[in-house]
Every structure is written in structure tokens, then in C-alpha cells.
Amino acid sequence: VDVGTLKADIIRSRFKELSNQYHFRENYIEQLMTQIADSPRHIGTHSGGFVITNDPLVETVPIEPARRDGRTIVQWDKHDLETLQMMKIDILSIGFLTVIRKATDLIGIDWCDIPVNDQKTYQLIQRAETAGCFQIESRAQMNSLPHTKPSTPYEMTVQVALIRPSMSKGGMAKPYLRGREAAKNGKPFKSGIKELDHILGRTHGVPMFPDQIMQIAMDVCGFTSAEADQLRRSLGKERSAQSVDQQGTKLYAAMIKKGMKEELAKDIIGRTQGFASYSFPEAHAASYGNLAFKSAYLKCHYPAQYLCGLINSQPMGFYRIDFLINEAKRNSGVNVLPLHPNLSTWDAQIVDSKTIRMGFRDVRKMRQYDVDTLVLERKKKPFDSIEDFISRNIFDKDVLTNLNLMDTFSCFGIDRRHSFWKSLAFKNLIGKSDFKLQLSLFDENLKIESNENIFAKMTDLEKAVIDYRIAGYSLQGSLMKNLRAEMPYLTSMTSREVNKLRNNVKVQCAGIILVDQRPPPAKGFGFITLEDENGTIDLVLAPDIYDKYKAVFRSSRFLLVSGTTQRNDNQVIVKTQMIESFAPTVKVRSHQPTPRMLDRLDW
């Protein structure tokens, strides 16, 4: 019977029969899981991969319709094509180029003219103030930067390659840093083999890129270019450690035959084990390192324009828009202005060298077409009241509600709660029969009065909750600061105090989850970054602690953490021992009478 044609009663009958046979349903499910293990879950397609052939493709490989209308895909995977020596090309795009283009357009410079040896930028990178920077904004990168301290373009190339599974598995980072330090002290890498010194000199004796292994194979061991290419393919083929072992044995024998010291040969072969995991070719790392530095340069010298480029390119990067805004305000003195009916456009805009104004693009349910219409309308005459704005624009109730509650109309001298009710009353009036005609002909400046004392003004916390719900950010000050004011039992210790503590100090801190990671190379350890009003706090969770409290931090973004500090130079990490949730319920009066949990917000 074909799949999809079985009747429900037949399926139930068969399932019951098998359940009785295996005694327990759980055992049967376990049997099924074993049988389907390693089976394809779905067909994955490369968004930018294509195959080139001399003859028509349909006559060469089997083709089937893709899930997306009007698209087709090749049934064979990349390994099948490789076996038949067919040409496959992957076209990749980097969304971060959009950020750089938008930022440089605002500045008025060509990104190609950005200097690559700017010391102020390197200092920013070495301080790990790289949130929002291409490739060097992850937790792992920011933890490594104060130790690696890249100071040249090539060191940036190595930096973006360092945080890769291949580097961790091959144990390359520490030997590289030791070799670099030795070179700075006048003791560069010397093997006694001229060709090898040339290949590994720039990485201080550590083979960090697959390209270097190919060069060693050809220049030192006498491999042909075809044999070296086969070696390269084996290093990444299905990420197979067995394939690397086989080629490593062959390479080791060739290096010994050429007179290389056994200890050095074993070290090189040992490093190649890491290439069975994901690694960067050197050219790839160089281009990424270049972009990483240029993004850091823009953040260092043009923080407002760079933030504007980031905001206008969302979704993008590692961090939420609210964190990027708060970080720019704290570290770079950037001033961020709220929405304004007569000044804001779809995108955020530069007001001056240190000031940006937010755009309508982040407002939920707002469409760019509606904003374009709004801009055209206000060019005729600026809006002078809420009523004027509503009568000259066609926004549905949800959009108008969101604009009011984001405090868009504060320029008209009224707060968000009262503007919401005034606009609602006005919208209802103009919905009545012949009101539009009367309004347009006789009473263009009609205003709807509201009792200013009906509702108390929103608290800062209520405003922040509304802002996050509607736009994903708030300009009402730090959410954590507002929470501490409303919840006195929360610890008063902020990230500023935590990051000044010495080693092995017991500490309790609170914050909002910014990053939660448990990378495979970390051997079960988890890493969480909390954000508060003054910055970030890095947590490390041992495998048992991570598993014990996973349900807590997966269900709440608001954590109260106890642990001990671990200081390494200028970095402080909290070794976590206990985690609690302090997720508050915030009731926003007059707009939404139902209590809303902060954890339901879209972050």
C-alpha cells in the first residue's frame, strides 16, 4: 500500500498489534527511532549553488521540481557530482555588505578607501568592543580578542579563522599565540627546511589553513597538484576523520622521507585532524578579516552612521536591535531620537554626527507603501495634530494604535495613552455617515477633546513593555533599570560592579538573556550572556548545571544568577551555580487590561 493511502483504523489496528508484541509503546517507538536514524529528514537545497555542463543539464542529471514554484533542483548531491567530476559553483552573498554600504553612503566615503592600519580601530577590537561587527561579535570571538590582540591585517585574517571547530579540535590557537610571541621577541619559526619555513612562517609554525597543507604536500613532499587537490578534498570530504587519517599517513611518510624531523611531522599531522571539522581557506579568512576590520573602523570612527546602517539592515547579525542601540549610547555617546510624524521616514536617519532618528520600519504591521504615502502627504503641509494626521492618512486601526502607543505624537503635546484614546474616538467619528464630507468642507481643524485626568500616565516600565511589544526596542532607558525600580528585591549589583570583582568572589546578579549557546566543541559546557543597564555579564555553566537549569532559562529571559567569579586578565566570567527566573507580570492599564508576561514579547 502506498504511503498516504492507509485508513486510520488500519493504522490503529497495526499499531495496537505491534504495541502488544513489544509490550510497551515506548519500546516500539524506540525501535522506530532506531530504524529511521540517519535517514534524510528533508531535501536540503543550496540557495546559490548551480551546475555547469557542456550538454543540456536535463540530458545529464535527473532534475525534479523544487518546493518553490518555478524552481527546479538536481536530484544528486554534491558528492555525486564530485564523483562524476561535474562542475558545481556556489555563489554566496554576505548580507553585512549591505550594512557597510548603507553606513558609507551616510558618511559619504568609499568603503574601499577605509585604511587597514588604523590603530584606534585595532584598540577597539583588542578591547572586544565589537558587538555589531562582522565575524568578531560572537561570545567566543569577544572572549578571545583581549588575548590575541590582533594588530595587523594578517592577524585579522587569523582571528576570524581561530574560532572554528577545526582550530579547537586541532589545538591551534595556543601554539599560534606562543609562536607569535616568540617571533616578536626575535625567535621566528625555523624548521631547517626552507620551503616549510616559507609556508608556515606567517602562522608561526602552525598549519592553520587547508591551503598550507596543500603547499606542504607539493613544495615539501613532492605531491603533484592533482594529488594535493585530492588531499584538500579529503580534508573536508563529508568532514570525515577517517579520510583525514588515511591521507595523513601518506603525508607523514612523505615528510619523513624528505628529511623532516619526526616530532615536527607528527605535530603537523596532528593539526590536520582538525580539518575534518569546519575550517576556512586562507583567502576566505582574509576577505572576512578585511570586512571585520572595516566594520570595526566604521563603528570606531562613525558610530551613529554605523548604527544607522545596522538598524536599516535588520534582521542582521548576532544581537537584537535594542542591545545595539543601548551599547552605542553607552560606549559611543550616540543619541537616538524617537519617531516623529513630520520627521521620520521608513529608515532610520542621521540627524548629526552623533544623533540618529528612528524610522517607521520597526513598527509592527507598518508597511513601507503607507510610509511613502505619509511622506508625500506631509510635503504638502506638515501635520499639526493627531486629528490632522488621521484625516490625511489611511492607516488601519492596528497601525494607528501602534503609532500612538510608541509615543509618535508626543510632539503635539500629548502622551501616548491619551493620544491613543483621542485617535480612537476620532477614528470612530470619521467612520460615521457623511462625517468625512462635513469634515472636509466645513471643519478642517476639528479637535476631539479628552479628559486628561481619566488615566494616570504610564510608568517607564509600562512604556518599555509597550515599546518592545510593538517595535522590539525602547528608548525609555534600560529595561533592567526600570525592573529594579519596580522590583526592590532584585540585587542592585550591575555588570559594572561584577566586571570589577577579583577572582573567586561569590556573586549574585540579574539580567536579561542576550545570548545562549552550547557549541559542540565546548564538551557540554553552556555560555549565557546577560544584559543589564550598564553592559553585559558572561556566565559559564558546567554540563550538569546547564542541564539542571535549562528549563528555567529556556522558558524565561529574565534571570537571577548566583555563582563565583573567574577573572582572566581584564575579563570576568561568572561560574554559575544557581539560576532563578524573576519574570515579572506587567499590567498596562487602559490599553490592554489583560496582564502580559514580559517573556511573551518578541525579542
512 and 570: one domain? yes
Decide which of 236, 260, 289 is a domain's last residue: 289
Residue-level pLDDT at 437: 34
Residue-level pLDDT at 335: 97
171 and 269: one domain? yes
pLDDT at 450 over 50: no
Residue-level pLDDT at 599: 44
Q: What share of the chain is helix, strand, coil (3-state, %, to 5)?
A: 50, 15, 35
Residues 85-126 pLDDT 10s: 888 888 878 889 999 999 999 999 998 999 999 999 999 999
Q: Are 532 and 512 in contact (CB under 8 A)?
A: yes
216 within a domain of the structure (yes/no): yes
For residue 556, the domain's CATH number is 2.40.50.140
Its pTM stands at 0.80
H/E/C letters for each residue in 316-330? CCCCCHHHHHHHHHH
282 within a domain of the structure (yes/no): yes
Across the range 418-433, mean pLDDT stands at 69
Q: Containing domain of residue 438, as a range?
A: 334-457
309 within a domain of the structure (yes/no): no
Decide which of 401, 435, 457 is a domain's last residue: 457
220 and 344: one domain? no
71 and 132: one domain? no
Q: Which segment of 5-19, 382-396, 410-424, 498-512 scores lowest on mean pLDDT?
A: 5-19
Q: What is the largest CA-CA distance in the chain?
A: 100
62 backbone dihedrals φ, ψ, rounded to 5°: -70, 135
350 and 432: one domain? yes
Residues 463-495 pLDDT 10s: 888 999 999 999 988 889 888 888 888 888 999
Cell numbers standing for residue 400: 494607528
Q: Report the alpha-carbon distance of residue 197 to residue 204 in Å, rounded.
A: 9
pLDDT at 438 over 60: no
340 and 422: one domain? yes
45 or 243, greater pLDDT: 45
DSSP code for 362? G
For residue 424, the domain's CATH number is 1.10.150
Residue-level pLDDT at 447: 44
Residue-level pLDDT at 180: 93
For residue 557, CA distances in Å to 480, 542, 553, 597, 602 come to 12, 19, 6, 11, 11
Across the range 46-57, mean pLDDT stands at 84
pLDDT at 441 over 50: no
Residue-level pLDDT at 548: 94
DSSP code for 25? H
Partnered with residue 508 across adjacent β-strands are 562
pLDDT at 457 over 90: no
User: Residue 438 — left, alpha, or beta (φ > 0 → left; ψ -120 to 50 → alpha)?
Assistant: alpha
Q: Report the alpha-carbon distance of residue 284 to residue 157 in Å, rounded.
A: 9
Which amino acid makes up residue 119? Q
Q: Report the alpha-carbon distance of residue 297 to residue 218 in Å, rounded.
A: 38
283 and 344: one domain? no
451 and 361: one domain? yes
68 and 175: one domain? no
Residues 131-156 pLDDT 10s: 999 999 998 899 899 999 999 999 99
Q: Report the alpha-carbon distance of residue 424 to residue 418 in Å, rounded.
A: 10
Mean pLDDT score of the chain: 83
Can you point out the beta strands (E) in 495-557? 506-517, 526-532, 535-541
347 within a domain of the structure (yes/no): yes
- How many domains does the chain divide into? 5
Across the range 374-381, mean pLDDT stands at 95
225 backbone dihedrals φ, ψ, rounded to 5°: -65, -35
252 within a domain of the structure (yes/no): yes
Across the range 345-355, mean pLDDT stands at 96
353 within a domain of the structure (yes/no): yes
Percent of the chain exceeding pLDDT 90 equals 44
DSSP structure string for 38-96: TS-SS----TTEEEE-SS-GGGTS-EEE-SSTT-EEESS-HHHHHHTT-EEEE----TH
565 and 429: one domain? no
Helices 153-162, 139-148: axis angle to 10 degrees equals 140
141 and 65: one domain? no
Cell numbers 519574570 correspond to 583
pLDDT at 594 over 60: no
Residue-level pLDDT at 584: 64
Residue-level pLDDT at 435: 38
For residue 100, CA distances in Å to 110, 161, 212 come to 10, 21, 31
Given pLDDT bands bounded at 50, 70 and 90, which one contains residue 430? low
Residue-level pLDDT at 34: 80
pLDDT at 504 over 80: yes
Cell numbers 539542571 correspond to 548
Residue-level pLDDT at 519: 84
Element (H, E) at 581: strand 571-581
Residues 249-280 pLDDT 10s: 778 888 888 888 888 888 888 777 666 556 77
505 or 456, greater pLDDT: 505
294 within a domain of the structure (yes/no): no
Given pLDDT bands bounded at 50, 70 and 90, which one contains residue 170? low
Q: Report the alpha-carbon distance of residue 163 to residue 280 in Å, rounded.
A: 10
Decide which of 272, 289, 306 is a domain's last residue: 289
561 within a domain of the structure (yes/no): yes
453 and 518: one domain? no
